């Protein structure tokens, strides 16, 4: 991005739920940005109306954008288009903010690396979890508990399968189910705690007990990007993943991500166990209305539990905070290549976990009657 003064000229690519409900209104009201365009070849009538009321032109293709017209674009299209659209924009020297998952394969990550390296645009990956006030407070406390021995991560929804029968539940379009969706966010949390570690062991199991049930759908996402039709493609993704990871140094990470469960409400739990104490956060990530009343963060040391203060914030504040920090990230030379490197590492790990789950299912003998 160049050094011209004034607001950052922004565009939103994709006017589905994320583009129209999260990014369009936030970019409109944020003083650091000037929302100059949206791109969607076939926007829903309500999304098109919202853009029109804001005076934002809706273009049909990203080829109508270039560095002379826009400084950066939020890529909020279906998963299988994330890397393709981001690559096309980077090759036009436009910086991009890409929602997770950044890519669905190592090959896509390679293309993003090439496009960013050879152009003037910068890629920044969405990192909503790291921008939550309660998670940042957890990071502070995790630095006081000595060497980390174990991290337990869980994001378990009571009912929250997105877009049942649409693209979200088709592996070829979404890349996977709960692991690719919620799991990527949980894995993103680990970085600031453990650093750039590799995992020498990675095993997983998946299940699909809820994903076919109509009453398991995410109530807050009824107006998804592509409503299921009578001839919708078969659902072929998991609603739950359970995994266990171990670093070469012996630090363990357990992860569970569930789109639906038997729980009464949606709960996110992050537990960091160190040699000198344990930090535990219970909250609810995302926009689900079926949430805990407020986050609870505790520090356990020598049998004593201390409840830590967490600044209150409205639902969705982590997205505003990402926009607060984005202009500086776009201007910082060290940002270049960082998100793609992390995406390479994350998609490689997710691919290993899916392969572990497939191998385990194949190897499981049939039940006897």
Element spanning 114, H or E: helix 106-117
Instruction: Tell me the Ramachandran region of residue 286: left when phi exceeds 0, alpha when psi lies from -120 to 50, beta otherwise.
Output: left
Give the integer Cα–Cα distance in Å for 264 and 365.
33
Distance, in Å, from the CA atom of 22 to the CA atom of 98, rounded to the nearest integer, reads 13
Q: What is the pTM of this model?
A: 0.92
| 301 strand-pairing partners | 304
Pick the closest to residue 350 from 102, 18, 150, 166 (CA basis).
102
pLDDT of residue 3: 52
Q: For residue 103, is it left (φ>0), alpha (ψ between -120 and 50) or beta?
A: beta
Structure tokens given for 68: 């002379």
> To which H or E segment does residue 50 belong?
helix 45-53
What pLDDT, on the 0 to 100 scale, is given for residue 61?
96
Quickly list DSSP for 195-232: -S---SEEEEEEE-SSTT-GGGB-GGGSS-SS---TTP
Per DSSP, the chain holds a count of helices (H) and strands (E) of: 11, 14
User: ∠ CA 335-322-354 to the nearest 5 degrees?
Assistant: 75
pLDDT value of position 134: 98
Q: Summarize the chain as % helix, strand, coil (round to 5).
A: 35, 25, 40
Contact 282, 269 (CB under 8 A): yes
Q: Is the distance from CB of 18 to CB of 76 less than 8 angstroms?
A: yes
Backbone region of residue 56 per phi and psi (left: phi > 0; alpha: psi in -120 to 50; beta: other values)? beta
pLDDT tens-digit profile, the chain (369 residues): 445 568 999 999 999 999 999 999 999 999 999 999 999 999 999 989 989 888 999 999 999 999 999 999 999 999 999 999 999 999 999 999 999 999 999 999 999 999 999 999 999 999 999 999 999 999 999 999 999 999 999 999 999 999 766 899 999 999 999 999 999 999 999 999 999 999 999 999 999 999 999 889 887 765 444 444 444 678 999 999 999 999 999 999 999 999 999 999 999 999 999 999 999 999 999 999 999 999 999 999 999 999 999 989 999 999 999 999 999 999 999 999 999 999 999 999 999 999 999 987 766 555 444
Distance CA 46, CA 43 (A): 8
**Distance between CA 231 and CA 62 in Å, rounded?**
30
Token code pair at residue 110: 């390679």
Distance CA 277, CA 43 (A): 51
Give the C-alpha distances (Å, rounded to integers) separating 309 from 291, 294, 295, 314: 19, 11, 10, 16
Q: How many CB atoms lie within 10 A of CB 25?
A: 14
* CA–CA–CA angle 269, 270, 276 (5° rounding): 135
Instruction: Give the sign of the dihedral formed by CA 54, CA 58, CA 62, CA 67.
Output: negative
Nearest to 343 by CA among 351, 334, 353, 354: 351
The angle subtended at Cα 276 by Cα 275 and Cα 278, nearest 5°, is 90
Q: Return the pLDDT at 365.
A: 54
């Amino acid at each position: 991005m160049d050094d011209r003064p004034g607001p950052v000229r922004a565009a939103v690519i994709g006017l589905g739920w994320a583009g129209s409900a999260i990014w369009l209104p936030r970019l409109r009201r944020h003083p650091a940005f000037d929302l100059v365009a949206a791109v969607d070849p076939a926007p829903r009538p309500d999304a098109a109306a919202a853009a029109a009321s804001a005076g934002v032109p809706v273009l049909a293709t990203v080829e109508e954008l270039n560095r002379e017209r826009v400084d950066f674009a939020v890529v909020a299209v279906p998963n299988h288009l994330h890397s393709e659209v981001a690559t096309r924009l980077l090759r036009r020297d436009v910086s991009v903010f890409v929602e997770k998952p950044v890519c669905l394969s190592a090959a896509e990550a390679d293309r993003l690396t090439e496009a960013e390296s050879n152009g003037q645009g910068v890629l920044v990956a969405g990192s909503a979890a790291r921008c939550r006030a309660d998670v940042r407070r957890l990071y502070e406390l995790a630095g006081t508990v000595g060497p980390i021995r174990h991290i337990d991560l869980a994001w378990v929804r009571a009912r929250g399968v997105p877009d049942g029968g649409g693209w979200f539940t088709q592996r070829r379009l979404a890349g996977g189910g709960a692991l690719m969706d919620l799991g990527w966010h949980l894995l993103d949390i680990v970085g600031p705690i453990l650093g750039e570690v590799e995992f020498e062991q990675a095993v997983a199991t998946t299940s699909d007990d809820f994903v076919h049930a109509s009453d398991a759908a995410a109530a807050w996402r009824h107006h998804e990007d592509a409503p299921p039709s009578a001839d919708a493609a078969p659902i072929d993704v998991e609603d739950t993943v359970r995994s266990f990871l171990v670093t070469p140094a012996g630090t363990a990470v357990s992860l569970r991500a569930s789109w639906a469960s038997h729980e009464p409400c949606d709960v996110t739990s992050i537990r960091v166990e160190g040699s000198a104490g344990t930090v535990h956060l219970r909250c609810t990530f995302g926009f689900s209305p079926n949430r805990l009343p407020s986050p609870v963060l505790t520090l356990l040391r020598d049998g004593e539990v201390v409840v830590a203060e967490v600044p209150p914030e409205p639902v969705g504040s982590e997205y505003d905070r990402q926009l607060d920090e984005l202009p500086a990230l776009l201007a910082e030379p060290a940002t270049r290549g960082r998100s793609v490197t992390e995406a390479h590492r994350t998609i490689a790990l997710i691919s290993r976990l899916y392969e572990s789950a497939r191998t385990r299912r194949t190897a499981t003998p049939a039940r006897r009657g």
